[in-house]
Amino acid sequence: MIAILGNASGIVLGREARAGGWRRLAAAFAALLLGLPLGAGAASPATEDSCATCHSDPELLVTNKKLYEYYQQWQASIHKEEGVSCSDCHGGNPRSNDKTVAHGKGVASSDPDSGIYYQAIPETCGACHDDILEGFSKSNHFRHLVTKKQEKQGPTCVTCHGAINVDILTVNSVQESCARCHNETRGIHPEIPEKAHRLLNRFLSIHRFYRYISTNAEPEEAKAFFGEIDVKLRKLSVTWHTFDIAAVEQQTGDVLAVLKAKRDEIRQRRRAGTAEAEAAAAGDGGGRR
Ligand code: HEC
Ligand code: HEC
Ligand code: HEC
Ligand code: HEC
Ligand code: HEC
């Protein structure tokens, strides 16, 4: 449906880097589209959002503290920043100020009609993260979402990213996250957490090379280079979500090789440049002053 544009380097960059200029515009545009499906004219989506308005009631802090905390989580989230509201994930009718009408057939995770019902979550998140959903639906995890026995159930987006105030697993957190299911006790591929840790370590190297190049390349050179590498990174992020470890390893190796070659090229040029400058400065001798 609505593709999230400008996400290309999301795989390795920090939130600040990713949330820059034009991608923010793209997200705002998407939010605007989402605010208008009922042909309600050009009113700002925020004022039409009964969910957030009612759930922000400070009275709830006293009457239903837990509920209020969910609102606070949303307040602190990147999704709030990007104009993604409660109903985008939960469903319901954000144009009614009446609680019963707004909640409709159900907005809780136990309601099969809600967008946050366990098996519905990938589709819900995938409405915006569509390429990632495409990768994820090819995974063994996706096939195991419908498994009845809970101990055999595969993870959904929320298992790894959290629900409202989402986060991205890092080299430090990934092992523990996978090991919730992939461990000796359960006996499903207990070697996976270690493998995932190694892979994310290599993602970190990608991040470092990427940073070096973006700081030190000439502007024209950077534009051409990142135009290509961002597409590869995007693909890698999609492949990651297929959880086909061999494919991820291969693509990670390819991307690393390209980045490293570029980094080495720039570094050599800079060294040569420095040597030249030093020689010139030495030649200049006492001629200054
Ligand atoms: C088993 C754990 C796991 C599951 C399930 C999972 N992810 Fe991820 N996801 C990760 C990890 C680890 C990363 C960080 C690696 C990377 O940057 O690709 C990540 C990265 C991301 C990113 C940031 C990367 C980018 O390119 O912007 C987004 C967005 C994302 N996942 C969304 C989703 C969505 C949506 C789903 C469900 C359809 C999902 N994930 C399912 C583990 C998971
Ligand atoms: C007029 C106020 C009001 C509006 C509008 C409203 N809610 Fe609620 N919501 C509540 C209250 C109060 C509760 C606490 C449980 C109850 O009284 O039903 C609640 C509970 C919830 C819960 C927890 C349900 C559960 O069973 O644990 C979710 C999720 C939720 N609302 C989401 C939404 C979404 C999404 C929208 C917009 C489509 C929305 N709400 C609109 C007042 C509102
Ligand atoms: C990015 C998607 C997303 C957004 C935006 C979001 N939620 Fe949720 N929310 C979820 C998911 C997914 C869960 C279920 C968590 C789980 O299964 O562990 C959840 C759980 C909840 C719960 C606990 C009830 C339950 O059924 O688990 C409440 C209450 C809630 N959200 C309220 C809100 C409110 C109010 C907003 C807006 C101010 C909001 N959420 C915005 C995805 C979202
Ligand atoms: C209405 C659109 C929309 C929906 C629905 C949505 N997201 Fe997002 N999400 C975004 C946008 C926009 C961003 C910010 C740009 C980016 O990083 O992709 C984002 C960012 C993220 C990130 C990156 C966070 C970071 O730290 O940079 C993750 C992870 C993520 N979403 C997971 C989810 C999950 C899990 C769900 C479902 C529970 C979900 N999203 C539902 C639009 C959406
Ligand atoms: C909620 C439980 C759960 C979590 C958390 C989880 N997995 Fe899985 N995973 C499963 C299940 C269930 C299977 C299917 C096992 C089978 O084929 O019998 C699976 C299968 C896999 C497979 C396929 C193995 C194969 O050879 O077919 C890979 C790879 C994998 N998981 C990687 C990961 C990674 C990486 C993480 C952490 C980022 C993770 N998983 C987190 C439950 C989980």
- All structural domains of the chain with their residue ranges: 1-162, 169-281
List of the chain residues with pLDDT < 50: 1-46, 286-289
Q: What is the pLDDT of residue 148?
A: 64
Q: Which ligand is nearest to the CA of 251?
A: 1
Q: Which ligand is nearest to the CA of 164?
A: 3
| Interval between CA 161 and ligand 1 midpoint (Å) | 7
Say how many C-beta atoms besides its own lie within 10 A of residue 151's C-beta.
Answer: 9
Q: What is the pLDDT of residue 37?
A: 39
51 Cβ below 6 A of ligand 2: yes
Please write the tens of the pLDDT for every residue from 44-58.
444 579 999 999 999
Angle between the N-to-C axes of helices 219-240 and 192-216, in degrees from 0 to 180, rounded to the nearest 10: 170
CA-111 nearest atom, ligand 3: 26
CA nearest ligand 4 atom 42, residue: 128
Q: What is the pLDDT of residue 27?
A: 38
Q: What is the pLDDT of residue 168?
A: 84
| Interval between CA 169 and ligand 5 midpoint (Å) | 15
Q: What is the pLDDT of residue 155?
A: 94
Helix or strand holding residue 262 (H, E): helix 245-284
Give the closest residue to 126 by CA, choosing from 108, 138, 112, 140: 138
Q: What is the pLDDT of residue 247?
A: 97
CA nearest ligand 4 atom 43, residue: 128
Which residues line ligand 4 at a C-beta cut-off of 6 Å?
4, 7, 10, 15, 18, 27, 34, 78-79, 82, 84, 88-89, 121, 124-125, 127-129, 157-158, 161, 166-168
Query: Which tokens belong to 271?
Result: 């060294």
242 Cβ below 6 A of ligand 1: no
125 Cβ below 6 A of ligand 1: yes
Q: What is the pLDDT of residue 287?
A: 47
Query: Which tokens belong to 12?
Result: 């390795």
Q: Is the pTM above the cut of 0.75? A: yes
CA nearest ligand 3 atom 24, residue: 108
Q: What is the pLDDT of residue 284?
A: 64
The identity of residue 252, as a single letter, is T
Please write the tens of the pLDDT for every residue from 121-136.
999 999 999 999 999 9
Instruction: Find the farthest-apart pair of alpha carbons in the chain and give their distance in angstroms, rounded.
Output: 85
196 Cβ below 6 A of ligand 5: yes
Give the closest residue to 129 by CA, choosing from 138, 121, 139: 121
Distance CA 216, CA 198 (A): 28
Q: What is the pLDDT of residue 285?
A: 54
Give the closest residue to 201 by CA, choosing from 233, 174, 171: 171
Q: Which ligand is nearest to the CA of 143?
A: 5
49 Cβ below 6 A of ligand 3: no
142 Cβ below 6 A of ligand 1: no
Distance CA 94, CA 75 (A): 17
